[in-house]
Structure 1
Amino acid sequence: MRHAAAGAPHPGASGGRGTSLRRSPRARGAVPPAGRDGGGRRLAHVRLRAWASAPTGAVGRAARVLGPWGGAAGRGLGGSRGAGYRGEHSRQLSRAATVARAVGARPGGRSMRGWFGLVALAGLGAAPMRAAAPAAPPVPAPFHAATPMPLQEAAESIVGGAEGWGAIAWSLDRDRPLFAIRANDVFVPASNNKVFSTIWALAVLGPTYRFPTDLLRTGPVVDGVLRGDVVLRGSGDPTLGYPFVGHDPLDDLRPMAVALRRLGVREVAGSVMADATIFDSLRFGPRWPGDTGNGVSPYAPRVSGLAFHRNLVRLDLRVAAGRVVVETFPRWPELPVRVEAGVGGGGARATRRPDDDTIRVLGGVGRRGLHRYLVGVARPELLAVAALRQALEEAGIAVRGPLRAGPAPPGAVLVHRHWSAPLATMVPFCNRESDNFFAEHLWKATAARVLGQGSYTRGGVAAAIFFARSAGVPFGQLYQADGSGLSAFNHVSPYAILRALRFADRAPWGPTFHASLAVGGAREGTLRHLFRQPPARGNLHAKTGYIRGVRSLSGYVTARNGERIAFAFLYNGPATSGARAAQERLGMLLATYDGR
Structure 2
Amino acid sequence: MKTGYWVICLCIYSFSLAAQPVKERLAKAVDILQSDPQMKHALLGLQVINAQTGDKVFEVNAQTGLAPASCQKIITSVAALELLGPAYRYETLLGYTGKISRNTLQGDLYLLGSGDPSLGSWRYDSTREDRQMQELTKILTQSGIRKITGNLVGYSGKWEQETLPGGWIWDDIGNYYGAGTSALNWHENQYDLILRSGKNIGDTVDIIETRPALTGTNLQSQLLAAAKGTGDNAYVYLPPFASQGFVRGTIPVEEKAFVISGSFPDPALQTTSTLQQSFELAGIRLQGGVNVSYDKAVPQVQNLGKLISPRLDSLNYWFMRKSINLYGEAFLKTIAFEKTGKGSTDKGVGLVKKFWKEQGISSAALQIIDGSGLSPQNRVTADALVQALQYARGRSWYPAFYESLPFFNQMKLKSGTIGGTKSFAGYHTSKEGVTYTVAIIINNYDGSAGEIVKKMFRVLDTLK
TM-score computed with the length of structure 1 as normaliser: 0.63
Q: Structure 1 residue 549: deviation in Å? A: 1.4
Is the aligned partner of 1:498 residue 2:386? yes
Cα RMSD over matched residues? 3.4
Contact 1:463–1:480 (CA under 8 A) maintained in structure 2:
no
For residues 22-74 of structure 1, give each alpha carbon's deviation from its aligned partner in whole angstroms, at most 9, with x where no partner exists.
xxxxxxxxxxxxxxxxxxxxxxxxxxxxxxxxxxxxxxxxxxxxxxxxxxxxx
- Please give the secondary structure, in 1, of the residue aligned with 2:168: coil
Partner of residue 167, structure 1: 46
- Please give the secondary structure, in 2, of the residue aligned with 1:445: helix
Is the aligned partner of 1:153 residue 2:27? yes
Ranges in structure 2 where 5+ consecutive residues have no aligned partner: 1-21, 197-205
1:580 partner letter: V
- Could you tell me which of 281, 284, 303 is aligned with 2:164? 284
State the distance in 2 between where 1:248 and 1:432 align. Answer: 19
Distance 1:351 1:414, change over 3 A: same
State the distance in 2 between where 1:490 and 1:160 align. Answer: 23
Contact 1:486–1:547 (CA under 8 A) maintained in structure 2:
yes
Partner of residue 581, structure 1: 454
Q: Structure 1 residue 409: deviation in Å? A: 4.9
Distance 1:160 1:370, change over 3 A: closer
Is the aligned partner of 1:381 residue 2:252? no
Is the aligned partner of 1:543 residue 2:424? no
Contact 1:313–1:383 (CA under 8 A) maintained in structure 2:
no
2:239 partner letter: P
Contact 1:461–1:479 (CA under 8 A) maintained in structure 2:
no
Contact 2:99–2:107 (CA under 8 A) maintained in structure 1:
yes
2:453 partner letter: R
Q: Structure 1 residue 490: deviation in Å? A: 1.2
Distance 1:420 1:431, change over 3 A: same
Partner of residue 569, structure 1: 440
Q: Structure 1 residue 159: deviation in Å? A: 4.0
Is the aligned partner of 1:357 residue 2:243? yes
State the distance in 1 between where 2:222 and 2:69 align. Answer: 36
Partner of residue 120, structure 1: none
For residues 125-158 of structure 1, give each alpha carbon's deviation from its aligned partner in whole angstroms, at most 9, with x where no partner exists.
xxxxxxxxxxxxxxxxxxxxxxx97666345424
Partner of residue 475, structure 1: 363
- Could you tell me which of 325, 330, 335 is aligned with 2:216? 335
Distance 1:287 1:245, change over 3 A: same
Contact 1:184–1:494 (CA under 8 A) maintained in structure 2:
yes
Q: Structure 1 residue 448: deviation in Å? A: 2.2
- Please give the secondary structure, in 1, of the residue aligned with 2:399: helix
Is the aligned partner of 1:305 residue 2:183? yes
For residues 508-561 of structure 1, give each alpha carbon's deviation from its aligned partner in whole angstroms, at most 9, with x where no partner exists.
111111111111xxxxxxx3xxx2xxxxx3xx1011111111111110011232
Q: Structure 1 residue 572: deviation in Å? A: 1.2
2:180 partner letter: R
- Could you tell me which of 438, 443, 455 is aligned with 2:327? 438
State the distance in 2 between where 1:516 and 1:379 align. Answer: 30
Contact 1:557–1:590 (CA under 8 A) maintained in structure 2:
yes
For residues 560-586 of structure 1, give each alpha carbon's deviation from its aligned partner in whole angstroms, at most 9, with x where no partner exists.
321111011111113364642332122
Distance 1:352 1:498, change over 3 A: closer
State the distance in 1 between where 2:147 and 2:336 align. Answer: 38
Q: Structure 1 residue 427: deviation in Å? A: 1.6
1:393 partner letter: E
Contact 1:232–1:275 (CA under 8 A) maintained in structure 2:
yes
Higher relative contact order structure (alpha carbons within 8 Å, sequence separation ≥ 6): 2
2:331 partner letter: L
Contact 2:180–2:189 (CA under 8 A) maintained in structure 1:
yes
- Please give the secondary structure, in 1, of the residue aligned with 2:161: coil
Contact 1:151–1:179 (CA under 8 A) maintained in structure 2:
no
Is the aligned partner of 1:201 residue 2:80? yes
Distance 1:267 1:349, change over 3 A: farther
TM-score computed with the length of structure 2 as normaliser: 0.80
Distance 1:502 1:441, change over 3 A: same
Is the aligned partner of 1:453 residue 2:342? yes
- Please give the secondary structure, in 2, of the residue aligned with 1:426: helix
Distance 1:464 1:313, change over 3 A: same
Q: Structure 1 residue 589: deviation in Å? A: 1.2
Q: How does 1:54-453 map to 2 (within 5 A)?
A: 153-154=27-28, 156-160=30-34, 164-244=43-123, 248-292=128-172, 294=173, 296-313=174-191, 335-337=216-218, 351-354=236-239, 356-359=242-245, 374-406=261-293, 407=295, 409-453=298-342
Distance 1:431 1:272, change over 3 A: same
State the distance in 2 between where 1:375 and 1:188 align. Answer: 25
Q: Structure 1 residue 187: deviation in Å? A: 0.8
State the distance in 2 between where 1:357 and 1:448 align. Answer: 29
Q: Structure 1 residue 337: deviation in Å? A: 2.9
For residues 349-400 of structure 1, give each alpha carbon's deviation from its aligned partner in whole angstroms, at most 9, with x where no partner exists.
8955326223568999x99977766432221100000111112122221111
Distance 1:349 1:183, change over 3 A: closer
Distance 1:336 1:168, change over 3 A: closer
Q: Structure 1 residue 418: deviation in Å? A: 0.5
